[in-house]
């Protein structure tokens, strides 16, 4: 194969996504949601928007409730780095500002994944970020950019 600029770009992208993949293969993340509220699939940018608090409600009207792992957990760290591109502290500060100004509903932070899963299962409109495949079948996994994990 000859390396054209386009193909080179593609290659970079592939490599990048592979690296991303590689990274994520270090800690992959899964987006989960309550049966009601969150869609079955979303784009990553949408996910980001939701998780950044830019959106308040789902299409069905349910309030968006964010569930995350605490930033002192590995999942939490990964979440804040990958999705928010912030450190744990920066994330806290971010949400502090938002809450302070009353602009968004802050996320719920959990110590354990099972807690998070339970929470998501019980709260319509809840959406959470995990790293393992779900064990609870009351919640659904959301396809992000067509992928199960990201």
User: Under the rule (CB under 8 A), what is the footprint of another protein?
Assistant: 70-71, 89, 92-93, 95-97, 99-102, 105-109
Nearer to another protein, 21 or 108 (CB): 108
Distances (CA, A) of 42 to 30, 39, 71, 94, 127: 12, 7, 24, 23, 12
Separation CA 26–CA 32 (nearest Å): 19
Minimum separation from the CB atom of position 107 to another protein (A): 7
Q: Which is nearer to another protein, 39 or 88 (CB)?
A: 88
Q: Is the dihedral of CA 114, 119, 121, 126 positive or negative?
A: negative
Q: Which of 122, 127, 112 is nearest to 48 (CA)?
A: 127
CB of 124 to another protein, least distance (A): 18
The nearer residue to another protein, 38 or 68, going by C-beta atoms, is 68
Shortest spacing between CB 133 and another protein, in angstroms:
24
Angle at 127 between CA 79 and CA 95, to 5 degrees: 55
Nearer to another protein, 129 or 144 (CB): 129
């Amino acid at each position: 194969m000859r390396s054209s600029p386009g193909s080179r770009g593609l290659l970079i992208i592939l490599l990048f996504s592979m690296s991303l993949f590689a990274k994520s293969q270090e800690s992959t993340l899964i987006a989960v949601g309550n049966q009601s509220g969150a869609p079955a699939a979303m784009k990553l940018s949408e996910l980001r928007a939701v998780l950044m608090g830019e959106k308040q409600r789902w299409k069905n009207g349910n309030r968006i409730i964010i569930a995350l792992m605490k930033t002192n957990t590995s999942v939490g760290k990964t979440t804040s780095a990958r999705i928010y591109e912030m450190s744990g502290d920066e994330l806290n500060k971010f949400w502090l500002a938002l809450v302070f100004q009353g602009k968004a509903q802050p996320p719920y932070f959990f110590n354990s994944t099972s807690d998070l899963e339970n929470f998501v299962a019980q709260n319509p409109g809840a959406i959470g970020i995990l790293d393992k495949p779900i064990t609870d079948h009351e919640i659904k996994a959301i396809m992000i950019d067509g992928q199960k994990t990201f």
